[in-house]
A and B are shown apart, each in its own frame.
Chain A
Amino acid sequence: MTATAQAPAPVREAIVATGVARSFGSVHAVQDATLTVPAGSVTALIGPNGCGKTTLMLMLSGLLRPDAGTITVAGHNPSTDAAAVRASIGWMPDQLGSWDNLTCLQTLTLMGEAYRIPRATARARGVDLLARVHLSEFAERPARVLSRGQKQRLSLARALVHDPGVLLLDEPANGLDPRSRIELRTLVREFAGEGRAVLVSSHVLAELDEMVDDAIFMSQGRTLGDDAAAMVADAKTKYRVDALEPQVLHEALAAYNVPFEAQEYGAIVRIDDAHKAAQALAWLVQQGVAVHRFGPVGSALEQTYMAMNEERR
């Protein structure tokens, strides 16, 4: 093998989109989307229903032509080199589609062949992938007997038949049982560990918190770049302190000029990291505050999402 200058040196930025827009008639599905997904990381795409997530994913996957803006996926431009873009992407659509008459293994084998993988290799890969998504016992059964969650996993396996460098997962957790969700989380982390860039959209924000490295928020067809990122960073520093007598807590904090948000049950304070949190708790106890609950406020993504959606009202 001769290494050329362009040879598969890992592309750091697997997906780069700038100012992407697309409308359907008078409906502006995506107005201005800008995002970057580095290789080997998981990025969440978060937004309310109908904010343009799926449309954006379709444009990234090279199925839909943007009206404006530029996209680069794995170093290729979908408008001039769409085939290369599609070949480098594993796409799991939000719509469940399966060939009901074919078995799971046939589905994966034929799909592999559609990527010009020799049949025997495609079949072996199909067997491996079915094991990976825990569908091995359904390998020889027709896809129509699968439940919704199982079809979802088959769809995930199908997105991986050609070993893509970029994964676009549209609502992958839909219809999965709790165990499968946790397994999905592990799988998605594994994909990133294998060097793939993963862009995942979901509504289950608590799930995403533990899965993603970065999050992109979308609202009304626009990505909320730095503002949202700042909000997420801010949300991550929030600690909730519940005291038996909130009044005492408020007084103690006020006395030492600690900024806080007073709450019915206690207060919300901003603490940079775990070490400082330990110190803060010790200090509060020392001040005679009867703290009965102390911890991060909750899903940073969820907080940001809720804060962002307040604009909608």
Chain B
Amino acid sequence: MTTTAPTGTQPPAAPPASAPTPVAPPPRKGNPWLPTFRGVSLMTRIELRRRRPSTKGYIFYGILFAIVIAICIAAAIFTPAQLSSTNFEIVLIMVLGVGMLIAPSLSATSINGDSGEGVLAPLQMSHLTAGDIAVGKLLASWTVSVFALVALSPFLIYTYLSSGWRLGEMLITIGAILLVVLTFTAVGLAWSSIAARAVASVALAHLTTGFFLIGTIIVFGVSTLLVTEEAPDRDRYIDYGQMTPAAEDALNDAYMTGDFSALNADDYTCIDSEWAYTVTHTEKVAWILLMNPAVMITETAPIVDPETWEEDGRAAPGVFANVHQLLSEARLGPDDELTGYEPWDECADLERQISAAAQVSDEDMEAEWAETEADWEARQREVANLERAPWLGLGVSVLLLVGSMWIVINRLRVPYKKLRSGTRVA
């Protein structure tokens, strides 16, 4: 306590007895803008304190968390006895969802809101640099999402224990989630430094998030039309309309018994059917999906081999592994061996059956099927084990983060050259 501090009981008109506390702020030079550790931590402290939720805010957060926790409890309860990663992945998705809802909403009103309330300019007048204010605001909003992660951590840990994930893998994926939330918090902040009104910046922030989460999938879907090629094909069918009743009965009998020896090929006429089938080269546009931040996060998840997961100590492929498979499918594109179309010729088939007259043994058929199945399984394993590709999404995320912060710092630097239209400085 200082001796100069008067007590509250003194009459308000009494002037302070002694000279006010002398202060000696350090001198300043130039017009610095880079964030400093001290400035950022002070700004974060100010923001966290002044944005403490009101009673209504706590009720809102309470309801939100009640819902999330209910889902997490369900996920925890329905954890089966054997390893299962899906429950853990649901909790991870909850962490991402809550973070993406809260943090950008907070940051998207942070700058234009402050400016409207008249509390931004006094801070800009102080020794805090534009970088201090920008990064401090970013971290303060982001910290709220980290609170969400902490609040959900019991469920995270509980479900992690039976997920078959390794600790390092969990930390990497959580790191990816926090990075994505940080990026979209920065995007919200950028919008709030550009738009004059809070309504506009919040809407734009959520639209940007929506574009990257859902829009990329839609763009991918639409762009597949551009990489779809038509391949004409000609099939031949037996013409049932020109068949005598006797021939038809004989054919039906043959199909029932598998004995084609009694049939005469001349009794059946053939018709041609020409049609076009399409091949979509998704491998040319799969990069659009890789830009999706949610896909980036699932791409950081461990690879689960559909054959050997039990020996590997993994759970059966869960949500993330399935997303990885779908994505890999798109990245590899159509497999000519498997999906390449072979024209169907019913007449040729019939003729072969007649001439071979049941020479095709069941063993041969089974061998053929087995081969097809082996091909398919090999493809599944190839798809599931395809190397993970989070790098493009990671790059997009970092680029958005850096770009957004660059915008924010530029908009916060004083003296202003330009003002947001329809605003005042103070």
**Chain A contacts to B: CB under 8 angstroms:** 24, 54, 58-59, 61-65, 78-84, 86-87, 89, 91, 93-102, 106, 110-117, 121-122, 124-125, 127-129, 131-132, 134, 136-137, 139, 158, 161-163, 170
Contacts and interface: CB of A to CB of B under 8 A. Distances in A.
Interface in B46-61: 46, 49-52
Given A114-B128, A121-B21, A127-B5, A136 B12 contact: yes
18 contacts: A24-B419, A62-B415, A63-B426, A64-B414, A65-B415, A89-B125, A93-B118, A94-B426, A99-B50, A101-B49, A111-B122, A114-B123, A115-B126, A117-B24, A124-B21, A131-B16, A136-B10, A162-B23
B234 interface: no
B124 interface: yes
- B contact face: mostly helix, strand, loop, or mixed: loop
Contacts of B13: 134
B15 interface: yes
A117 B21 CA distance: 11
A162 B22 CA distance: 9
Contact of B12 (A64, A84, A137): A137
Given A63-B414, A97-B118, A114-B126, A83 B28 contact: yes
B414 A82 contact: yes
Contact of B20 (A94, A128, A134, A136): A128
B32 A83 contact: yes
Contact of A106 (B6, B12, B49): B49
A102 B51 CA distance: 10
The listed residue with most A CB atoms (<10 A of its CB), out of B10, B16, B21, is B21
Contact of A101 (B25, B29, B50): B50
B378 interface: no
Given A93-B121, A122-B23, 15 more contacts: A63-B121, A63-B426, A65-B417, A81-B31, A82-B415, A84-B27, A84-B30, A86-B414, A97-B426, A111-B122, A114-B39, A115-B127, A124-B21, A132-B16, A163-B22
A101 B122 CA distance: 17
The 9 closest A-B pairs by CB, nearest first: A97-B118, A95-B118, A114-B126, A83-B28, A93-B426, A128-B20, A97-B119, A65-B415, A125-B21
B278 interface: no
B261 interface: no
A216 B414 CA distance: 26
A139 B9 CA distance: 12
A240 to B, nearest CB: 35
Nearest to A158: B122
Nearest to A139: B8
Contact of B425 (A64, A112, A132, A158): A64
Contacts of A127: 2, 4-6, 21
- A contact face: mostly helix, strand, loop, or mixed: mixed
Interface of B: 2, 4-6, 8, 10, 12-13, 15-16, 20-32, 38-39, 42, 45-46, 49-52, 117-128, 414-417, 419, 424-426
Given A84-B29, A114-B42, A102 B122 contact: no
B94 to A, nearest CB: 29
Contact of A91 (B125, B416, B419, B424): B125
A87 B122 contact: no
B416 A64 contact: yes
A194 B337 CA distance: 90
A119 B243 CA distance: 100
A52 to B, nearest CB: 13
A128 to B, nearest CB: 4
Given A95-B426, A101-B50, A124 B5 contact: yes
B118 A111 contact: no
Contacts of A64: 414-416, 419, 425
Contacts of B15: 131-132
Contacts of B8: 136-137, 139
A65 B10 CA distance: 45
Contacts of A106: 49
Contacts of B426: 54, 58, 63, 93-95, 97, 170
A249 B122 CA distance: 57
A87 B127 contact: yes
Contacts of A161: 23
Contacts of B424: 54, 95
A59 B28 CA distance: 18
B110 to A, nearest CB: 13
Nearest to A99: B50
Contacts of A162: 23, 25, 126
B127 A116 contact: yes
A177 to B, nearest CB: 13
A212 B204 CA distance: 49
B31 A115 contact: no
